C-alpha cells in the first residue's frame, strides 16, 4: 500500500460517508469492540464499521464512526500512531476537531488541535506531521530533525534506594531539581501568557496554553537531576528512549478559594488517561509535575496521591474490567490521600497507574504547576499489554 495523506470522502444515501485512502481505495474503519488506539485501520472489505458521520462544529468537523460512535482524535506532541485513536462518548475534545481541504490530489484531513494529518500506510493508520514520515510531499513542512539529547550524568542518576522508593510508593519527589534561573524563566513566560488581553480565565483550576517564548520541556532537558532521574526509571532497550523532545507539557493553575471557604477533606481520585470513558487509555509511563510555586503546606492546591495504589490488586482488577469497557466496581481506596508537599523547583515523578487527584487551593497565592506525560518512543510497538505495571520500567 502506498503511504500518504490524501483521501476522498464518498457520501452515502443514509447521510454517512466513507473515508477512502488514495490511491489504494482502502476505507477507514473503527471497530465497535475496539478501544483507544486499537481497532482502527483501512480495508477494502465491506463493513458497517467503515461508515462515518461528519458533524460540523463551526469551521471544523467531528469524525464519528456511525457503527461504534467512536470519535477520531490526534493529540499534540506525538506522531504517527502515538496519541492517535478513536474514543467513545464523553465531551467533544479539541483534539477531535478536523478540517477537510480539497486538493488536486485528494482531500487532506487535518487535526485542528495538533495540525497532524490523517495518514495511511501499509502498516497502519495514524496522524503524521507531514505528508509522509520519510518523504514529505511538496507543500508540507518536513519533520523537524532530532536534536542531540542532553547527557545523562551518572552522578545525577537515581540511587538504588530512590528507585525502590518509586517502585514501592508509585511516586518520588526530587528536591530543588530545577535550577533557579530556569524555573524563573518559565514562571515569567507563563505570567506573560496569562497577562495577555485575549487570555480568558474560565476555571479555578485552569489549563493554560504553553508560552510562545519558552518551550516547557526545557524544564526537563535543561535540569540534569530531572533528566537523569526519568532515564533511571525507563528501560530504553525494551521500549526506546523517552519522548521528552516531543512532549510539550501542560501548565495548570489553581486559583485560591473564596476567603470564607472552609477547607474540606478531599478523597476523590483518578488514574490519568482514563478520562475518555471505559475501554480507553492514554499511553504514557511517567507523570512528571514541576512546581513553580510554594506548595510546602497542605491546602495549596497540592497534588494528592494514594501511595502504593499502582500495585493494589483491586485497582488492577478494575483496570482490566475498564479495558473491556466495564466501568463498574470502582475500588474504595479507604483512608485519606497524601498531599505532595513541594517548593518551587521541586519535581514529582509518578507512575502512570498511581491513583491521585488535584485539590483546592486555600492559600493566598495562585498555584503554578507544569505537568508532562512521558512515554518511550516505541511504547506501542514494543508493549501492547500496557496494563502491566512494569512493562517498560527498569
10-residue averages of pLDDT along the chain (394 residues): 75 90 88 67 85 89 90 78 76 85 87 88 74 40 47 87 97 97 95 82 65 89 96 83 86 94 89 77 87 97 97 92 85 94 98 95 96 82 62 86
Our CA angle for 95, 75, 148, nearest 5°, is 150
Closest CA to 372 of 281, 246, 253: 246
Report how far Cα 285 is from the mean position of its chain's Cα atoms.
10
What whole-number distance in Å separates Cα of residue 253 and Cα of residue 36?
28
Q: Select from 113, 5, 7 the least CA-distant residue to 60.
A: 113
Residue 24: its pLDDT value, please?
82
How many Cβ atoms are within 10 Å of 388's Cβ, its own excluded? 11
CA distance 350 to 371: 11
d(CA 184, CA 206): 20
Per-residue pLDDT, 210: 74
Could you tell me which residues come within 8 angstroms of residue 187 by beta carbon, excluding any fewer than 6 positions away?
292, 293, 368
What is residue 146's predicted lDDT score, i.e. its pLDDT? 43
Considering just the CA atoms, what is the radius of gyration of the chain in Å? 22
- CB count in 10 Å sphere of residue 288: 23
Question: How many Cβ atoms are within 10 Å of 198's Cβ, its own excluded?
Answer: 4
Q: Which three cell numbers stand for residue 179?
A: 535550577
Give the per-residue pLDDT at 148. 55
Give pTM, 2 decimals: 0.66
3-class SS letters over the chain: CCCECCEEEEECCCCCEEEEECCCCCEEEECCCCCCCCCEEEECCCCHHHEEEEEEECCEEEEEECCCCEEEEECCCCCECCCEEEEECCCCCHHHEEEEEEECCEEEEEECCCCCEEEECCCCEEEECCCCCCCCCCCCCCCCCCCCCCCCCHHHCCCHHHHHHHHHHCEEEECCCCCHHHHHHHHHHHHHHHCCCCCCCCCCEEEECCCCCCCCCHHHHCCHHHHHHHHHHECHHHHCCECCCCCCCEEEEECECCCCCCCCCCCCCECCCCCCCCCCCCCCCEEEEEECCCECCCCECCCEECCCHHHCHHHHHHHHHHHCCCCCCCCCCCCCCEECCECCCCEEEEECCCCEECCCECCCCCEEEEEEEECECCHHHHCCCCCCCCCCEC
Backbone angles phi, psi at 267, to 5 degrees: -125, 0
Amino acid at each position: 500500500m502506498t503511504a500518504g495523506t490524501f483521501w476522498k470522502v464518498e457520501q452515502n444515501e443514509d447521510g454517512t460517508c466513507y473515508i477512502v485512502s488514495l490511491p489504494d481505495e482502502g476505507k477507514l474503519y473503527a471497530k465497535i469492540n475496539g478501544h483507544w488506539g486499537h481497532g482502527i485501520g483501512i480495508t477494502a472489505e465491506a463493513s458497517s464499521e467503515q461508515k462515518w458521520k461528519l458533524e460540523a462544529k463551526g469551521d471544523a468537523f467531528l469524525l464519528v464512526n456511525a457503527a461504534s460512535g467512536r470519535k477520531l482524535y490526534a493529540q499534540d506532541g506525538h506522531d504517527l500512531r502515538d496519541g492517535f485513536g478513536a474514543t467513545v462518548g464523553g465531551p467533544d475534545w479539541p483534539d477531535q476537531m478536523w478540517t477537510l481541504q480539497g486538493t488536486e490530489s485528494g482531500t487532506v484531513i487535518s487535526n485542528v488541535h495538533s495540525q497532524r494529518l490523517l495518514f495511511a500506510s501499509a502498516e497502519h493508520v495514524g496522524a503524521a506531521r507531514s505528508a509522509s514520515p520519510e518523504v514529505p510531499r511538496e507543500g508540507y513542512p518536513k519533520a523537524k530533525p532530532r536534536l542531540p539529547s542532553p547527557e545523562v550524568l551518572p552522578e545525577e542518576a537515581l540511587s538504588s534506594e530512590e528507585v525502590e522508593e518509586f517502585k514501592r510508593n508509585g511516586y518520588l519527589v526530587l528536591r530543588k531539581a530545577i535550577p533557579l534561573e530556569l524555573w524563573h524563566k518559565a514562571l515569567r513566560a507563563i505570567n506573560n501568557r496569562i497577562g495577555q488581553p485575549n487570555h480568558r480565565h474560565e476555571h479555578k483550576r485552569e489549563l493554560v496554553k504553553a508560552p510562545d517564548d519558552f518551550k516547557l520541556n526545557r524544564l526537563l532537558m535543561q535540569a540534569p537531576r530531572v533528566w537523569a532521574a526519568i532515564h533511571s526509571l525507563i528501560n530504553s532497550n525494551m521500549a526506546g528512549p523517552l519522548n521528552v523532545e516531543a512532549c510539550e507539557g501542560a501548565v495548570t493553575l489553581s486559583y485560591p478559594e473564596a476567603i470564607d471557604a472552609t477547607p474540606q477533606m478531599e478523597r476523590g481520585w483518578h488514574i490519568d488517561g482514563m478520562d475518555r470513558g471505559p475501554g480507553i487509555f492514554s499511553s504514557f509511563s511517567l507523570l512528571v509535575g514541576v512546581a513553580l510555586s510554594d506548595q510546602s503546606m497542605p491546602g495549596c492546591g497540592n497534588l494528592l496521591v494514594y501511595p502504593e495504589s499502582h500495585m493494589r490488586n483491586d485497582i488492577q482488577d478494575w483496570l482490566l474490567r475498564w479495558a473491556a469497557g466495564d466501568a463498574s466496581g470502582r475500588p474504595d481506596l479507604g483512608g485519606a490521600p497524601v498531599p505532595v508537599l513541594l517548593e518551587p523547583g521541586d519535581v514529582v515523578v509518578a507512575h502512570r497507574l498511581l491513583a491521585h487527584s488535584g485539590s483546592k487551593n486555600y492559600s493566598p497565592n495562585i498555584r503554578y504547576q507544569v505537568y508532562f506525560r512521558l512515554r518511550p518512543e516505541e511504547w506501542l510497538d514494543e508493549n501492547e499489554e500496557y496494563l502491566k505495571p512494569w512493562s517498560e520500567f527498569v
